A and B are shown apart, each in its own frame.
Chain A
Amino acid sequence: MTARTLYRKLVDAHTVARLDEQNVLLFCDLHLMNEYTSPQAFAGLYAQGRGVPMPGQNVAVVSHIIPTHPTAIRVIADPASARQASNLKKNCDHFHIPLFDTNDALQGIEHVVAPEHGMIRPGMVVICGDSHTTTYGALGTLGFGIGTSEVEHVLATQTLVYRLARDMRIRIDGALPSGTTAKDLVLMIISRIGAQGARGFVVEFCGTTIDAMSIEARFTLCNMAVEAGARGALIAPDPVAVEYVLARAPDIDGGLREAALAHWATLHSDRNATFEIEHRFDATEVPPYVTWGTSPDQAVAITGVVPVAEGAQRASIEQAQRYTSLAAGTPLEGLPVQHVFIGSCTNARIEDLRAVARVVGDRRVAAGVRAMVVPGSGAVRAQAESEGIAARLVRAGFEWRQPGCSMCLAMNDDVLPPGTRCASTTNRNFEGRQGRGAITHLMSPAMAAAAALTGRITDVRKLETLE
């Protein structure tokens, strides 16, 4: 048998039929849904009189439109958004699809909720009408985003007509320096390979840096692979991943556990497998990274400056400079911010909030800064409260809010006013993403916490932090 990449193994193991040279009918183990990319898919099922043959392989979460005001019982004030939530409930009831509804205590961002309760297991194919489904590569799971037509296809058939991707490997070796996280690393990688650098590829991350990463950090890395255009990200499951999953999947016990472990041990690229493109990076000198522009690849080290508009990217750089009101040569460090947002499927897990709390210590949010923390899920929120993180952040002047996607894409009422500059732990700094005319600077949770304390984009390495 020829040597295969992990990606090819996962595709092969889920291929129901080969349709042509480029396409297979791919079985999907888990389909996640939200309230805004699924309604038209359900409508299509009704219109065609089609059913959902395998509802237990599907799950829905109200995540994008949900308000995050810190009230005990959440009411969706916007009538259209409320209708999306009630419509999702009706559709899930109709087709017997499990749902994390608006006031489920475990509700949150779909990509935080699914793995934290053990629904994401190595070797699965997981799809969702949301581009950040690449997150699940952290567990050796092939995850990728799909459109609504494909959501309908999966509901009706539990399969997708899947165009094969190409193989890329990104090897990262060395220990990340203190003050630098997976977020900084992935921003650095995207800035090097570009917003299209992995377009058409599934990226396998490997190397000693990855080996040393927590699963939360791996989620962050794989989550943002899509910002380089990747169709998927993968990390071969290791004991860290296996432990993460088993701790959350009590149904995998006894003999099943042995079988699962044996299967998961096969989930790695063969020694002689070939990758069409290979990149290598050294993690040991990666500083904190911050985006300056309006594409996630427009990122520089915190010690860097806004680049000069030249070369092939000239027009994009000029446009981004206009939008962000930043001239070439402007240092990122010291830029005043009016808003800090800590949240999103990229960086709103418990480890992220712990990092924020360590930076904050007993200090206070700077005057004139509105700092919001939106935990990734009800479980993360409860955990942070039990660890005293919430109390510390509230004391410091942060808003401690209910979980949801919130200001990552500003589909709910968490929208920035024009001209506001925001230090954000999210994944996209697109024009208007957090609000028309608002300016987003992507960074790690620790860096965002530092910005909250000083009111400026700040090199977190210069602040004294706990532990």
Chain B
Amino acid sequence: MTDAAHRHHRIEGIAAPIAIANLDTDQIMPKQFLRGIDKTGLAQGVLWDLRFHGDGSPREDFVLNRPVYAGTRILIADSNFGCGSSREHAVWGLQQYGIDAVIAPSFGEIFYSNAMNNRLLAVMLPEPQVRALLDAALTSAEPLRIDIDVRRLEVRSPLGTSAFALSDRHRTMFVEGLDLIGASLTHQAAIEAFAQRHWAAQPWVRDVARRTKERLDRLSSRPAESQGPVRTKIESSRQHGDHA
């Protein structure tokens, strides 16, 4: 998604109803699409089993496959959307598919953080309001159009205007595209000082991973270098752009 798309602070467009409670991230982005080392190519995997039959042909009855829903920007979903696995691929995929916002009564906790960290707008509305939107979208011949105003924290639809809540932090992240890591790195000195105090009080947590792995390697007297044949095999399949 481009930054330009966010300058408007508005997401306006077709809203597709997906009335499935507890729609987990395994369904949003199935396992076979998780083998990359970058974020690309995930649009095709979105809601794969719902969008396609086992033979790969589209399920024409599924809402996103109906021609009038081409260009859907918003999903109206049921409660606990994005529960389950932490895979951020679910968020990347939705965005690559063209989804800029999901409206639901509630979200899986990790999905919610992932969404906000990528500026996929997760809008929580009270369940009766979401139910009304779902019903309206499911029963109307024409797709419902929804207009989300992030500045005013309002969802506008033919049913009326609903206010939604967003923490100040998340609103800023969405509107301005905060570099969260950059912001946290301004605390670098405080983090280092904290770590020194923390480790002085609890020396047993300092370098716990490195010290444990070194101990195990000493015990097994199997230095990493001796893991020969397979490493060679794996490295031989290495391709360009491994770092990316």
A interface residues (Cβ-Cβ under 8 A, vs B): 13-14, 16-17, 19-20, 22-23, 25, 27, 29-30, 36-37, 39-40, 42-44, 46, 48, 50, 53-59, 65, 73-76, 78-87, 89-91, 97-106, 117-119, 121, 123-124, 129-131, 145-150, 152-153, 156-159, 161, 163, 195-196, 199-200, 229, 231, 249-252, 256, 259-260, 263, 295, 313, 315-316, 319, 409-411, 418, 428, 430-433, 436-437
Q: In angstroms, how far is the closest chain A Cβ from the Cβ of B29?
A: 11
A91 to B243, CA, bound (A): 7
B7 at the interface (CB under 8 A from A): no
B27 & A437 in contact (Cβ 8 Å cutoff)? no
Taking the closest CB of chain B, its distance from the CB of A12, in whole angstroms, is: 12
Q: Is the CB–CB distance between B195 and A55 below 8 Å? A: no
CB distance from B17 to the nearest CB of A (A): 12
Closest to A59 in B: B209
Given the known interface contacts A147-B117, A153-B181, A196-B106, the answer about A29 and B205 at a Cβ–Cβ threshold of 8 Å is yes
Cβ 8 A contact of B185, one of A121, A157, A251, A313:
A157
- B207's nearest neighbour on chain A, judged by CB, is A56
Q: How far is the CA of A196 from the CA of B107 in the complex (A)?
A: 9
Instruction: Give min CB distance, B83 to chain A, whole Å.
Output: 6
Could you pull out 18 A-B pairs where Cβ atoms are within 8 angstroms? A16-B187, A29-B205, A36-B35, A37-B87, A39-B37, A83-B238, A119-B208, A121-B204, A121-B205, A129-B88, A131-B110, A147-B88, A159-B191, A163-B113, A195-B83, A313-B21, A428-B24, A430-B26
- Determine if B205 and A17 form an interchain contact, defined as CB atoms under 8 angstroms apart: no
- Chain A contacts of B239 at CB under 8 A? 79, 83
Partner of A76, one of B86, B87, B187, B234: B234
A-B CB pair tally, cutoff 8 Å: 269
Extra pairs beyond A84-B37, A159-B187, A431-B27 (7, CB < 8 Å): A57-B208, A59-B209, A84-B35, A129-B86, A156-B184, A199-B80, A432-B26
Q: How far is the CA of A57 from the CA of B211 in the complex (A)?
A: 9
Q: CA A305 – CA B181 in complex, angstroms?
A: 50
B113 touches A146 (CB 8 A): yes
With a cutoff of 8 Å between Cβ atoms, the chain B residues found around residue A29 in the complex are 205, 208
| Residues of B66-103 whose CB lies within 8 A of A | 79-80, 83-88, 91
Q: Interface readout for B197-224 with A: 1 if CB under 8 Å, 0 if not?
A: 0100111111111111111100010101
Q: Given A295-B22, A315-B19: A87 and B242 within 8 A (CB)?
A: yes
Which 3 pairs, one residue from A and one from B, show the smallest C-beta to C-beta distance? Answer: A56-B207, A56-B210, A98-B213
Q: Are B243 and A42 in contact (CB under 8 A)?
A: yes
How close is A170's CB to chain B, nearest CB, in angstroms? 18
Q: How far is the CA of A437 from the CA of B80 in the complex (A)?
A: 22
Q: Is the Cβ of B242 less than 8 Å from the Cβ of A90?
A: yes
Across-interface contacts of A37 in B (CB, < 8 A)? 86-88
B210 and A199 within 8 A (CB):
no
Are A25's CB and B168's CB within 8 A? no
Contacting residues, chain A, for B213 (C-beta < 8 A): 59, 98-100
Contact, CB under 8 Å: A86 / B238: yes
- Check if B37 sits within 8 Å of A43, measured CB to CB: yes
In the complex, A198→B86 CA distance in Å? 17
Contact B208 A121 (CB under 8 A): yes
In this complex, what residue of A is CB-closest to B185? A157
Chain A residues with Cβ under 8 A from B201's Cβ?
Answer: 263
Distance A159 CA – B36 CA, assembled complex (angstroms)? 26
Other-chain residue from B198, B203, B230 in contact with A27 (beta carbon distance below 8 A): B198
B229 at the interface (CB under 8 A from A): yes
Smallest Cβ distance from B175 to chain A, in angstroms? 16
What residues on A are CB-neighbors of B54 within 8 Å?
418, 436-437
- With contacts A104-B227, A147-B117 known, is A48 near B181, CB below 8 A? yes
Given A145-B110, A146-B110: A430 and B27 within 8 A (CB)? yes
**Cβ-closest chain B residue relative to A412:** B31
- B180–A153 CB distance below 8 A: yes
Which residues of chain A come closer than 8 Å to B21, judged between CB atoms? 313, 315-316
Find out whether the CB atom of A161 lies under 8 angstroms from the CB atom of B222.
Answer: no
Whether A157 pairs with B188 at a CB distance below 8 angstroms is: yes
Question: How far is it, in angstroms, between the C-alpha of A311 and the C-alpha of B181 when the chains are bound?
Answer: 45
The distance in angstroms between the C-alpha atoms of A430 and B211, with both chains bound, is: 38
The smallest beta-carbon distance between A34 and chain B, in angstroms, is 10
| Chain A residues positioned under 8 Å from B30 (CB to CB) | 432, 436
User: Bound complex: CA of A157 vs CA of B194, how far in Å?
Assistant: 12
Are the C-beta atoms of A83 and B191 separated by less than 8 Å?
A: no
Q: Are A46 and B31 in contact (CB under 8 A)?
A: no
Whether B208 and A117, one on each chain, are in contact in the complex, defined by CB atoms closer than 8 angstroms, is no
Do residues B205 and A124 form an inter-chain contact, with CB atoms below 8 A? Answer: yes
Known: A27-B194, A147-B117. A131 touches B86 (CB 8 A): yes
| Docked-complex contact B79 and A153, CB < 8 angstroms | no
- A222 CA to B82 CA in the complex, in Å? 20
- Bound-state CA distance A250–B114 (Å) is 38
Residue from A56, A121, A131, A256 in contact with B85 in the complex, judged by beta carbons closer than 8 Å: A131
Q: How far is the CA of A58 from the CA of B209 in the complex (A)?
A: 6
A280 to B95, CA, bound (A): 42
A73 contacts B169, C-beta separation under 8 Å: no
B192 nearest CB neighbor, chain A only: A53
Contact B212 A117 (CB under 8 A): yes
A342 CA to B79 CA, complexed, in Å: 31
Flag if B216 contacts A103 (CB, 8 Å). Answer: no
A401 to chain B minimum Cβ distance, whole angstroms, is: 17
Is there a chain A Cβ closer than 8 Å to B151's Cβ? no
Within 8 A of A (CB), among B147-183: 167-169, 180-181
Known: A75-B233, A98-B210, A131-B84. A433 touches B106 (CB 8 A): no
